[in-house]
Amino acid sequence: MKHLLSTADLSRADAIRILDTAAQMAATQSREIKKLPTLRGRTVVNLFFEDSTRTRISFETAAKRLSADVINFSAKGSSVSKGESLKDTALTLQAMGADAVVIRHQASGAPHTLAHAGWVDSAVVNAGDGMHQHPTQALLDAFTMRRHLVGRGAAGASITGDPTGQDLAGLRIAIVGDVLHSRVARSNVHLLHTLGAKVTLVSPPTLVPVGVETWPCDVSYHLDEVLAETAPDAVMMLRVQRERMSGSGAGGGAFFPNPLEYTRNFGLDGRRLALLPDHTIVMHPGPMNRGLEISAEAADSPRAVIVEQVANGVAVRMAVLYLLLAGDASTERAGLE
C-alpha cells in the first residue's frame, strides 16, 4: 500500500511529478464542469482528530471533484469521545471499505502508525500530525511559489501559466514565526530544500526547536536583517500556536510570547512590506492571527497569495489522491511511499 506521510520521503522527481499533476488538475478546475470521473467507485475517508477548516474542506472538495465517495469523520461527536482507540477506529474504517484515509491527528506519528500497523489496507495521507508534518500544505505552498516565482521575466512577476517540470532552484524563502510548534515549517524546510530553494527560518530563540541546526536551512533571530540582506522571493508567516503553549511555560510547553513584543520583532506589517522586492509574495498557511504575526495591511495587500494558497490546495490534493489511487505505475513514478 502506498502513502504520503512526510515531505522528507519525497525525492525531487516525486515532488515535481505531484506539482505537475496538480497543474493539470488546476487546469480542469477552470472548466464549466469541474468534476472528473477518475476515482468513481473509490472511497476516501477524512479522519480528523484535530480541528481544521482549509485542509478538511479541500480534501473533501478534491475527492468529490475526482468523483470519489467521501466520508467525513470528526473525532468530536464520534465514539472517540467514549474512549475508542485509533486502532479500533481504523478497523471500523477498514470494515467500511475505505480506499484512502486522510488523517489529521494531534499526536506526531499517528499517520505513520496507521499506515504501517496493518490495521487498514488503504492509502494513508497525512493531513497534519502534531508538530511533525503537513506534507500537502508544503506541496501547495511550493505549487503557489512555482506559479508566481519561477519563469519570471527580467521585469518581475509576469505569470505565464504553470512552469511544469521545474523546481524552485535559486529562490530565497523566509519562514517567520513560531517554528517550534509548526509542522508547516518542518514540511516546507524539507520540500523547499529538495526543490533547490534556500530557506531562512526567522524566529524568537524561545520558539526554535532543539536540533534545528541539523535542518537544511539557515536560522536567524532578526527579521529586519533577513528581509534587508536576503531580499526573499517569498515570506511565509507562521501562526503563533497559542493552543500548544502554556501561559506560564509549565508542563513542558513554550511560554506564550508577549504579543506587543512579538509583533514588534517578528510581525509582518506595512513598514516591513516596504522593505521587500517588488515581486516578493506574502504567504500564510492559515488560520491567521491578524494583528499578531501579520497585520491586516500585509494580509490583504496585493502581494498576499493567502487565498490563492487555499485554492491551490484543492488541485494539489486532487493530484495526491489521483497518484495514490489511480494506477500503480503512476504511483510508483510519483514516489509516494
User: Which residues make up the interface to ligand CP (CB under 6 A)?
Assistant: 52-55, 128, 137, 285-287
Alpha carbon distance 24, 66 (integer Å): 13
The verdict on whether residue 193 carries a ligand-binding annotation is: no
The verdict on whether residue 64 carries a ligand-binding annotation is: no
Alpha carbon distance 318, 18 (integer Å): 10
Could you tell me the smallest distance in angstroms from the CB atom of residue 130 to ligand CP? Answer: 13
The verdict on whether residue 242 carries a ligand-binding annotation is: no
Nearer to ligand CP, 227 or 321 (CB): 321
Please, what's the b/e burial string for 31-68 (b: 16 or more CB within 10 A of its CB; e: otherwise)? eeeeebebbeebbbbbbbbbebebbbebbbbbbbbbeb
Could you give the strand order of the β-sheet that contains 69-74, starting from the edge strand earlier in sequence? 69-74, 43-48, 100-105, 123-129
Please, what's the b/e burial string for 283-294 (b: 16 or more CB within 10 A of its CB; e: otherwise)? bbbbebbeebbb
Nearer to ligand CP, 111 or 285 (CB): 285
Beta-carbon contacts of 242 under 8 Å, excluding residues fewer than 6 positions away, are 256, 289
Nearer to ligand CP, 138 or 325 (CB): 138
Could you tell me the smallest distance in angstroms from the CB atom of residue 94 to ligand CP? Answer: 25
Query: Biggest alpha carbon distance in the chain?
Result: 60
The verdict on whether residue 31 carries a ligand-binding annotation is: no
Task: Using the structure block, give the residue that is written with the C-alpha cell 523547499.
Answer: 192
Could you tell me the smallest distance in angstroms from the CB atom of residue 285 to ligand CP? Answer: 4
Could you tell me the smallest distance in angstroms from the CB atom of residue 286 to ligand CP? Answer: 5
The verdict on whether residue 17 carries a ligand-binding annotation is: no
The verdict on whether residue 104 carries a ligand-binding annotation is: yes
Q: Is residue 201 a contact partner of residue 218, using CB atoms and an 8 Å limit? A: yes
Nearer to ligand CP, 111 or 335 (CB): 111
Could you tell me the smallest distance in angstroms from the CB atom of residue 308 to ligand CP? Answer: 13
Annotated binding-site ranges for carbamoyl phosphate: 54-55, 104, 134, 137, 286-287
Annotated binding-site ranges for L-aspartate: 82, 183, 239
Annotated binding-site ranges: 54-55, 82, 104, 134, 137, 183, 239, 286-287
